[in-house]
Amino acid sequence: MGIRKKRNFRRKFKINNKKNKELLQSLSLILVLSFVVGGIYTVYENKNYEKKIAKIESLKIEEEKIKFIKDIEKEAESSYKEYGVLPSITISQAILESGWGQSELTKISNNLFGIKADERWKGENVEVSTSENYSDQVMAKFRKYNSLNDSIRDHAKFLKENPRYAEHGLFKGKDYKSQAQALEDAGYSTKKNEQGEAIYADMLIDLIERYNLNLID
């Protein structure tokens, strides 16, 4: 091979080698970008999937809540006609006191309102651990019912027969706000906020307005 041919060959080899390196670098960059973009897309898809699952779970919970309201709505209306406690008040109390019917007490006794079994109670009872003075856990007896409807009716009867509720204007109240306040004033619950202010009426009103329970009244 002549000197000129050797030089041309070397020059072509260097050029080709340089092009090959550039090509390899380009391919490497493309591969890296592909992995990065693919990773970002996967993370994005995972987040979207998680959001969809969370939304489905949220819808399921809302459906269960609506079902709970429907399950006790009719008896709450019937009880109102006999005892005078607005359906929205009865339902909101049942939601609050039983955790939408999911509390341990409600599951084993159909007791929606946490009414205890004192000496006046002649029916069945269950013994459940409950908190007293915010932190002390004690065993207490609670009324047991055959159905949620029985619990609703007994709750209204309990309020009617206890004079302090009439004294605080529960049955004179013609709207849910006044009846909720009467329950708080009569001491149905001792729930307070961090400032020591009674909040039971506000909690009932919030539930009633959030789920439009006043439309049942």
Q: Is 132 a catalytic residue?
A: yes
Domain residue ranges in the chain: 73-216
Can you tell me the distance from the alpha carbon of 133 to that of 115, in angstroms, rounded to the nearest whole number? 17
pLDDT band at 9 (very low <50, low <70, confident <90, very high): very low
Level-2 CATH architecture, domain 73-216: Orthogonal Bundle (1.10)
Reported as a single tens digit per residue, the pLDDT across 42-91 is: 655 556 656 656 655 666 789 999 999 999 999 999 999 999 999 999 99
Catalytic residue among 63, 136, 150, 154: 154
Catalytic residue among 132, 136, 194, 197: 132
Residue appearing with tokens 């909101």: 92
Nearest to 127 by CA among 110, 139, 114, 115: 139
Helix orientation angle between 176-185 and 87-98, rounded to the nearest 10 degrees: 50
Q: Is 154 a catalytic residue?
A: yes
Which of 10-14, 124-128, 130-134, 173-177 is predicted with the least confidence, judged by mean pLDDT?
A: 10-14
